Amino acid sequence: MARFRPIGVGALLLVVVLSLGCGGPTGAGGRGALASSDAGTPPELQRINTLLADLAARLKPGLVHVAVRRTAGGETRREEEDEPRRATGSGFVIDGSGLIVTNAHVVESAEKVQVRLSDGRRYTGSLVGRDNRVDLALIRIDGATNLTVLPLGDSNRLRVGEFVLALGHPFGLEQSVSFGIVSRKGAPLTIAAPGFDFIQTDAAINPGNSGGPLVNMAGEVVGVNSMAARTISIGFAIPSNLVKQLVPQLAAKGRVEWGWLGVSIAEITEDDVERLKLREARGVLVRDVMPGEPAERGGMRANDVIVEFDGTALEGPRDLQRVVSTTPVGKKVRVTLLRDGRETEVEVTVGLYEEREARRLERPRQPPRPDAPTPPKE
């Protein structure tokens, strides 16, 4: 199994600092170093060029191209489609046995999956598992040797402003690399994602990049390219720490078992403080409870305010989404909530999250404020 030695982040940052000095005062005649025809490339900038080019060269062997033929009548999504029944995307090797990470939407309704390695070798891929909620999938190729494994880094340590590379096969172009920074860590574009902070970057993520790696300057995969905003130049990537958590479930079960309560939730506003007899705007407001779901069976009601779930204090809805989704299905947990200003506890058995887009709440509810966002469900 081939691996590569990561490039030191400190060395790259040092040359970036040094390069800032290249824009100093110009000499006689107003011509700077970069304008001189015989000066060549300044050594500091050449160092940056070399570091980035070497990093890209070491990463590319672990990048793969994924081509999919869809089943007749299968749903097609996004721009990765060359023809109505065909789609392309990217992926990368995470295990020398032939395991490859990509996006769930790339292999959706797949009748046949073909994986092409960077050296041109082609293999038929088999779907090991997929999860639509965070758009992650795992495929396998058999018989491949000398695979380059791209290591997963610690996305929790990733800071806004850090340099990253996005690798993939956009628009059918092979082995593409784009350079940018981490712009933000926060909510992704898809409302279904369970409260995890996705990585936002200005490194170009175009159709076909889906499933490719987002890599830091140490040569570690910190995210899986997943989606891009169509009107502006930003993209989102699934954080590597979430990938580490989900891949074992996908490999063992073919799916991810997310926890589920069955409530519609919202932020606590200042208007809610007086109405619900609260001391402060903290916790998670239960707007509705779905009939027959775990929350109702455990005794939760609309207008309850959840302040603690299984020992974890909650500040807002994303905290609840994150802790519920990662709680084992079937586990009984204590939920601390405020009801009419008084603290109480209920016991809830966490259920299994399933696709429920077609379901509707059966109980009447007050219409939301005109400016209120659509409440998330957990």
Q: 309-358 pLDDT, tens per residue?
A: 999 999 999 999 999 999 999 999 999 999 988 999 999 999 999 875 43
pTM: 0.78
Alpha carbon distance 80, 105 (integer Å): 9
286 and 216 within one domain: no
Give the residue, 322 or 228, on which the prediction is more confident. Answer: 322
The terminus-to-terminus CA distance of the chain in angstroms comes to 41
Residue 180: pLDDT over 70: yes
> What is the residue type of 225?
N
Q: Which residue out of 65, 105, 155, 288 is catalytically annotated? A: 105
- Considering the domain boundaries, does residue 174 fall inside one? yes
Alpha carbon distance 289, 46 (integer Å): 61
319 is catalytic: no
264 and 347 within one domain: yes
216 and 184 within one domain: yes
- Considering the domain boundaries, does residue 36 fall inside one? no
266 and 236 within one domain: no
Backbone angles phi, psi at 18, to 5 degrees: -60, -35
The pairing of beta strand 342-349 with beta strand 163-168: unpaired
Give residue 356's pLDDT: 58
Q: Are the C-beta atoms of residues 307 and 314 closer than 8 Å to each other?
A: yes
Q: 140-164 pLDDT, tens per residue?
A: 999 999 999 999 999 999 999 999 9
- Considering the domain boundaries, does residue 291 fall inside one? yes
Mean pLDDT of the chain: 82
Alpha carbon distance 47, 43 (integer Å): 6
Domain interval for residue 229:
155-242
329 and 266 within one domain: yes
65 is catalytic: no
Q: Which residue out of 131, 135, 197, 304 is catalytically annotated? A: 135
The SS3 call for residue 267 is strand
169 is catalytic: no
Give residue 29's pLDDT: 43
User: Domain total for the chain?
Assistant: 2
Least trusted range by pLDDT, from 51-65, 164-178, 188-202, 243-257: 188-202
Distances from the Cα of 150 to the Cα of 1, 269, 313, angstroms? 10, 44, 36
Read off the tokens for 54.
Answer: 């070497």
Q: What CATH number is attached to the domain comprising 319?
A: 2.30.42.10
- Considering the domain boundaries, does residue 23 fall inside one? no
Give residue 112's pLDDT: 94
The pairing of beta strand 235-239 with beta strand 198-201: antiparallel
DSSP 22: G
- Considering the domain boundaries, does residue 166 fall inside one? yes
270 and 238 within one domain: no
Q: Which residue out of 176, 178, 183, 210 is catalytically annotated? A: 210
275 and 236 within one domain: no
- Considering the domain boundaries, does residue 234 fall inside one? yes
Give residue 70's pLDDT: 85
- Considering the domain boundaries, does residue 345 fall inside one? yes
345 and 278 within one domain: yes
Residue 99: pLDDT over 90: yes
Give residue 170's pLDDT: 83
